Chain A
Amino acid sequence: MLKTISKMAVYGAVAFGALTATAQAAEDYKLGLVTFLSGGAAGPFGVPAKNGADLLIDALNAGTVPAPYDKIGINGVKINPVYVDEAGGATKQVSEYRNLVERQGVNAVVGYISSGDCLAVPGVAEEMKKVTVLFDCGTPRVFEEADYKYVFRTAATATMDNVGAARYIAEKVGNLASVSGINQNYSFGHDSWNDFTTSLEKIKAGVDVATKQFPKIYAGQYGAEVSALMVNPAEVVHSSFWGGDMEAFLLQGAARGLFEDQQVLLTCGESALYKFADNFPEGAIVGARGPNGVFAPKSALNDWFVKEYEARYGTKPTYPVYHMVQAIMGLKLATEKAATNAGEIPTDEAVAGAFEYLEYDSPAGKIAMTNGNGHQAVQEMVFGQVSKENGEVVMKDVVRYAPSCVNPPNGVKAADWIASGFEGAVCN
């Protein structure tokens, strides 16, 4: 009798294991969402991204998103978001990730704005075999230094921002003889400046660097840096500043007339374009880390998205919102592609397989997972200049660069590609 019960228990356990390892029919789809909800990155990036996720998840659960996203939730299963604050550093995020998978039992994780977190989490995601979509971080190193099966990034890398920026000023700024830089003293700031200056060397040789400044992140006081930029004037001041640092720099620079003589180039500028509109200098060159926000191509999907977002939050969506939304949309399409029946949640392995080399439409236009062996998206890059008409910010001199013009080919490191003079690049 005991033997029979033991056998039944073993068979039961095996059957349960097999069921959980293969497709599941579930009441809800638990989605782990990691974004900054506190600290300096919460206001410009984290909370807008969460707002975008809330809006999209509600609309998906109600089945009101335009095609091809009109199926309820993910493959007919309603989405139940589980939020985690990204503040606290990479070590904390690795623990939080384990909690999400092991204790919360999430079906997938979408998250991470900080490049440090994006470099730390994929290792544990692979170990736990959980589909994870990085939505906003910029470092190209994630898929350059390792191959992953379960990790994807649905936004392009920061390389594209700075290659595009170099191409833009070479094309649009007359008599370009020198550039200056003010970037935050951490990996994003240094990588942005290096990509920008090395790209510019290849596109337009002989442009000097007047000065380069790397103040501490969240420094807030830039009096000495503004003076250094004024003492060593250049035609263009490059900056990958974001959030409070960018806003403080613009306030302090404008009060001293810095932008009257030098044109400022802000690769993340669009993230503050609406709430800080009064203080954006006329002629500031602005990027949106992709064809997002004011640069998004016209489509029924984008029209729906902008209208819904404005109605709910009273402001237009900025690029972190687009990045979050396109990550969830990619996950939904990959899951539905992998599923064989409605209401089924396929295995992580099946979803990962379906996600590779996926191409899909988002409010920011086409997302093509062509790099990182099918795990890294490329998009087009857009820059324009701020102009004000009747108190409203409008963009002029907008230039769009094809994905193949600003992103390295699959398998080529960004730095090598720039050093080679953009070998294989196909521009408009």
Chain B
Amino acid sequence: MNLALAVLVDGVVYSSWLFLIAAGLTLIYGVMKILNMAHGSFYAIGAYSGASLIGVYFAGGNPPWASYLLLVGAALVAGLIVGLLIERGFLRFMYGRDEVVMILVTYGILLILEDAIKLLWGVDPYFAYQPYTLLGRTKIGGLSFANYDFMLICVTAFVALVLWWSLNRTRSGKILQSVIHDREIAGALGVNVTKIFTITFVIGAFLGAFAGALTAPGISVVPGIGIEVIILAFAVVVIGGLGSVGGAFVGALIVGLSRALSVHLYPDGELFVIYGVMGLVLAFRPQGLFAIAGARKI
């Protein structure tokens, strides 16, 4: 009983974290057809911004509960600034290039941002543990879980719901979907594709930074954290189907639960299981679980 419960809770917590990171990545790909390697840097910048602000905030003896708002604010500002700078400063000059070229461009941006992070924050770790412990813990079936992790599940569910609602039930979402389906036709029908690109990229950057800021309280924020997560995020969006937000949700669940199962039953396979699942999915559905195979334009 303990084991099944542990696998379920651990799997869902890990999936929530993965989805938060992967959502922005898959959104950007869906709309802009850019596999954004720099997404890991958005995560890292969000984590560093959150940790720095939390450190200053608690050093000032401020009321602890407001620190959660600070994390959201840090992600919002970081995502907005970095997203706008990269989209307006680099990517808009590259639109229309081959997808492979865009991967190289965003990889270059990733390297620049990694060095920028090192210049700005140095190599020493940053800690923002207060919000993580503030919520206490809950005992379920004899096992204690951090309430912060349950909050993370709720936040992820909320983000998934907002994304689904915005994409499927609002006018802006439908415009966005028209760009996802065919940017040329959407442009011909009067949709301002460039503006949609900018907005999408900033939202994607915010989601990456938001994942980083929410993760910061439970980790040590150190150089290189962005590179580690981007590999996992790629696995998730590939399983779900590139560009599909719903696919990323299911992909995150599959990866999270598989990993938890492996940790509890066969720890030596933990490293393999994520990529094993990805290989298995791709063997049967090369386009991922939820992506619709389309004819390539020549």
Contacts and interface: CB of A to CB of B under 8 A. Distances in A.
A225 B13 CA distance: 13
Given A43-B123, A43-B223, A224 B10 contact: yes
A181 to B, nearest CB: 10
Nearest to B148: A255
Interface stretch (B22-30, B124-132, B236-244, B287-295): B124-132
A125 B145 CA distance: 51
Interface string A271-285: 000011001000000
A244 B219 contact: yes
A218 B224 contact: yes
A231 B268 contact: no
Contacts of B225: 218, 220, 244
Query: For this complex, into which size category does the number of interface residues on chain A fall?
Result: 35 or more
A231 B223 contact: no
Contacts of B9: 227
B267 interface: yes
Contacts of B149: 223
Nearest to B221: A244
B223 A39 contact: yes
A243 B132 contact: no
Given A220-B215, A251-B218, 18 more contacts: A38-B223, A40-B223, A42-B223, A43-B125, A43-B222, A213-B263, A213-B267, A214-B268, A214-B271, A215-B270, A218-B228, A223-B13, A225-B263, A228-B263, A231-B6, A251-B132, A255-B148, A256-B146
A23 interface: no
6 contacts: A221-B218, A244-B225, A247-B220, A252-B218, A255-B133, A256-B145
A90 interface: no
A362 B84 CA distance: 53
A244 B224 CA distance: 10
A305 to B, nearest CB: 21
Interface in B202-236: 215, 218-225, 228-229
Nearest to B124: A43
Contacts of A47: 123-124
A409 interface: no
Interface of B: 2-3, 6-7, 9-11, 13-14, 17, 118, 123-125, 127, 129, 132-133, 137, 143-146, 148-149, 215, 218-225, 228-229, 259-260, 263-264, 267-268, 270-271
Nearest to A251: B129
A197 to B, nearest CB: 14
Contacts of A43: 123-125, 222-223
For the complex of A and B, 7 pairs with smallest distance between CB atoms: A247-B220, A244-B222, A224-B10, A224-B263, A244-B220, A42-B123, A227-B6
A315 B220 CA distance: 19
A34 to B, nearest CB: 16
Interface of B is mostly: helix
A225 B7 CA distance: 10
Given A221-B17, A247-B125, A252-B146, A216 B271 contact: yes
A255 B146 contact: yes
Interface in A256-313: 256-257, 275-276, 279
A176 to B, nearest CB: 22
A241 to B, nearest CB: 11
A153 to B, nearest CB: 25
A228 B264 contact: yes
A40 B17 contact: no
Contacts of A244: 125, 219-222, 225
A230 interface: yes
Contacts of A55: none
Given A251-B132, A252-B218, A255-B137, A231 B145 contact: no
Nearest to A47: B123
Contacts of B11: 224
Contacts of A231: 2-3, 6, 143, 264
Question: Which of A38, A221, A256 has the most B CB atoms < 10 Å from its CB?
Answer: A221
Contact of A224 (B127, B146, B260): B260
A24 interface: no
Contacts of A219: 228
Nearest to B270: A215
A227 B2 CA distance: 9
A220 B271 contact: no
B132 A255 contact: yes
A47 B118 CA distance: 12
Contacts of B224: 39-40, 218
B218 A255 contact: yes
A251 B215 CA distance: 12
B263 A243 contact: no
Contacts of B267: 211-214, 228
A227 B125 contact: no
A73 interface: no
Contact of B118 (A38, A227, A245, A252): A38
Contacts of B3: 231
Contacts of A213: 263, 267, 270
Contacts of B145: 256
A228 B6 contact: yes
B219 A248 contact: yes
A220 B264 CA distance: 18
Nearest to A243: B222
B21 to A, nearest CB: 11
Interface string A20-38: 0000000000000000011
Nearest to B139: A257
Question: Which of A40, A46, A227, A252 has the most B CB atoms < 10 Å from its CB?
Answer: A227
